[in-house]
Chains A and B, each alone.
Chain A
Amino acid sequence: MLLLFLGPFVLLTVLFFVMPAIITAFLALTNLDAAFQGTYVGLDNFRGLFADPLLPRVLLNTVVYVFFTLICFNTGLGLVLALLTTHIPDRVGTVFRAIWLLPRLTPMVVYGLLWLWFVDPTKYGMLNTARSWFGLAPLDLISASPWLVIVLVNGFIGASLGMVILTSAIKSVPEDYVRAARVDGASSLAIVRHVILPLIRWPLTFVLVNQTLALLTSYEYILLVTGGGPFYDTTVYALYVFRRAIQNGDYGYGAALAFILVVVGAVAALSYWRLLNFERMISAPKIEAD
């Protein structure tokens, strides 16, 4: 019985997480190149990490990217959207959230292209058309402030997961607490601060942790919008792995970089699990199978 229920998921995890991780670990010990030729080189690739002149820049980029996207959008805007859409009539809120979720259902490339058209540097881009109405000259936003565009592109789509999770968390706060706080004299803002936020602390922490890990491994939109350039200026760690391994054909070194990310992710996930006591958030099963 146990195998029947868990089996499919164990299989998926082994096939798409454990196996690739093991293969990555093995590849990291080779100098496999674009022609798929390589020999065992021991820990040379890992030693190379310390000598990589690009890596400090990439790490700093990663911190900037994760921090701003996470705080301003994936958690911050997600929370704001959840609060706003639960404080307006229910049906309007649902429609609004559904619209905000649309990009998630859109293929990544389409979403990325939409942004590229929006910030197109010529006068035909949407942003520049709008600027022309006010007599402003066309702006090349991607060159002028690439980080702004990257954070916006990732943030607007990233906020929706937090929005959905936090919306259901806010809705699960018993109505009586909010009513009691109103009678006690609290304004809407005071209710959010003193009642709602403390009561949704766990889901909020979950969103924060989950999105940190998700952002650490994400690079798709950056690849689509700036390609990590100019040079390596907007390349984050996950994109660096992709560029070194796939674009430069340096599979051995790329695997070493990727392996570090796997280890960081696994260690972070496990320590969050322990530190934040995730087990408390999981309700006991209603039935048990032997």
Chain B
Amino acid sequence: MGRIVLDKLGKRFGVVEALRDLNLEIADAELIALLGPSGCGKTTTLLMLAGIYKPTSGQILFDGVAVNDLPPQDRHIGMVFQSYALYPHMTVFDNIAFPLRLLRRPVDEIQRRVLEAAALVQIEALMDRRPSQLSGGQQQRTALARALVKQPTLLLLDEPLSNLDAKLRVLMRAEIKHLQRRLGITTILVTHDQVEAMTMADRIAVLRDGLLQQVGTPDDLYYRPANTFVAGFIGSPPMNFIPAQVETTDGQVAFAAEGMRLPAAEWTAPHLARRRGGPVLVGVRPEDIRLSLVPGESAVQGRILDVEPLGRELVVAVTVGRQVVVAIAEHGFAGKPDQPVGMFVPPERIYVFDPTTESAIV
């Protein structure tokens, strides 16, 4: 079992508050990602889970037992470091065997379990090499094997893919996820890469400046972001935020901004009623915008600022008044810079935020 509860967890370094009142429950066999920009407190949280940092407030519970004062060696955890931290003076075999040797397991058991762990990550052929003789991917696998050889109840991954090239990253992402499902180990993944978090995690906890912003499934975060930070952090290119005013004409609610008027979805009307005439922040994801080069077809007219081809799709920056809106167009879109373009945004795909609190309104 590996059920983890973080209860009002906090960490201070002198006057700097790295993490404040983090409440989080992690189910057994779940893969949860701690996501946020650097300095958000995600690695601090991980190191507290590992027992390397001591919390200054709150509690960490493993299966209902407080482990705040438990040293790392008694926590049954495996950890993969961003740098992999493979001992350079030991072979791959010795690196993986190290945790078992410290437990003084019999030689034949060590031999068997090291080979098993190596087989899990397919590095059986590399056992006599030193870390310096391994590629980045092989080092990553060795680090994983070392973390798994103890059969930990909790696996901690600190930016495990950030040192791999793009191609290998996609491969390892799938492999780690598959391995985690197969072994059923509760896993906490720290990352600043939203794609990594979205593709690998069952749930994601988004952190910013030591404060938890939102916890939820990848879909929750993408479709129901709690605030502008989460909305802007998840998705690439990021969501467009357009300052607008709520207007009502003939019972129809719409958002009016410079050079555009976007009708709101009908079901949102009751939520927006008391904000009539007031300012809101309208969020639109680039992938939800449809561009049209046929004149007069759409309500919103703009001018193409730039087109970035990405192969399968194009990222198109459009100026509407003084606002720049980024949209994604499908392969084959023929627009060129300086050309007029029409934009269409489905009303149900519009996000609305409070401009002062930055929280989602609907």
Contacts and interface: CB of A to CB of B under 8 A. Distances in A.
A53 B52 CA distance: 63
> In the complex, which range does the number of interface residues on chain A fall in?
10 to 19
A185 B103 contact: yes
A214 B97 CA distance: 41
B37 interface: no
Contact of A179 (B50, B78, B87, B88): B50
A179 B146 contact: no
Contact of A195 (B52, B87, B156): B87
Contacts of B98: 181, 184, 186, 194
B85 A185 contact: no
Nearest to B156: A183
A186 B73 contact: yes
B96 to A, nearest CB: 10
B102 A176 contact: no
A176 B85 contact: yes
A158 to B, nearest CB: 28
Contact of A190 (B47, B51, B88, B102): B102
A177 B103 contact: no
B99 A184 contact: yes
A269 B230 CA distance: 63
Contacts of A185: 72-73, 99, 102-103, 150
A174 B84 CA distance: 11
A107 interface: no
Interface string B130-141: 000000000000
A78 B103 CA distance: 31
Nearest to B76: A185
Mostly, the A contact residues are helix
B78 A186 contact: no
A185 B71 CA distance: 9
B81 interface: yes
Nearest to B52: A179
A184 B52 contact: no
B92 interface: no
A199 interface: yes
A185 B146 CA distance: 12
A182 B72 contact: yes
> In the complex, which range does the number of interface residues on chain B fall in?
20 to 34
Interface string B117-157: 00000000000000000000000000000100010000010
A148 interface: no
Contact of A199 (B78, B83, B89): B89
B140 to A, nearest CB: 14
Nearest to B78: A183
Contacts of B99: 184-185
Contacts, number: 61
Interface in A173-201: 174, 176-177, 179-187, 190, 194-195, 198-199, 201
A141 to B, nearest CB: 43
A174 B85 contact: yes
B147 to A, nearest CB: 8
Nearest to B81: A176
A179 B73 contact: no
Nearest to B53: A179
Given A179-B52, A199-B89, A186 B83 contact: no
Nearest to A191: B102
Contact of A180 (B51, B71, B79, B89): B79
Contacts of B77: 183
A118 to B, nearest CB: 41
Contacts of A177: 85, 87
Nearest to B80: A180
Given A182-B51, A182-B52, A194-B98, A187 B73 contact: yes
Given A190-B102, A199-B88, A182 B73 contact: yes
Contacts of A174: 83, 85
Nearest to A180: B85
Q: Which of A174, A177, A180, A187 has the most CB of B within 10 A?
A: A180
A185 B103 CA distance: 8
Contacts of A201: 89
A174 B72 CA distance: 18
Contacts of B78: 183
Interface in B207-225: none
Given A185-B99, A186-B102, A198-B89, A180 B81 contact: yes
A172 to B, nearest CB: 13
A210 B27 CA distance: 57
Contacts of B52: 179, 182-183
A182 B77 CA distance: 10
A176 B83 contact: yes
A200 to B, nearest CB: 11
Contacts of B102: 184-186, 190
B1 to A, nearest CB: 20
Nearest to A197: B89
Contacts of A184: 73, 98-99, 102, 146, 150
Contacts of A176: 81-83, 85
A265 B78 CA distance: 51
14 contacts: A176-B83, A177-B85, A179-B85, A180-B85, A180-B146, A181-B87, A182-B50, A182-B52, A183-B72, A185-B72, A185-B150, A186-B102, A198-B87, A199-B88
Interface of A: 174, 176-177, 179-187, 190, 194-195, 198-199, 201
Closest 3 CB pairs of A and B: A180-B85, A176-B85, A185-B73
Given A182-B50, A183-B52, 7 more contacts: A176-B81, A179-B50, A182-B51, A182-B73, A183-B79, A184-B102, A186-B102
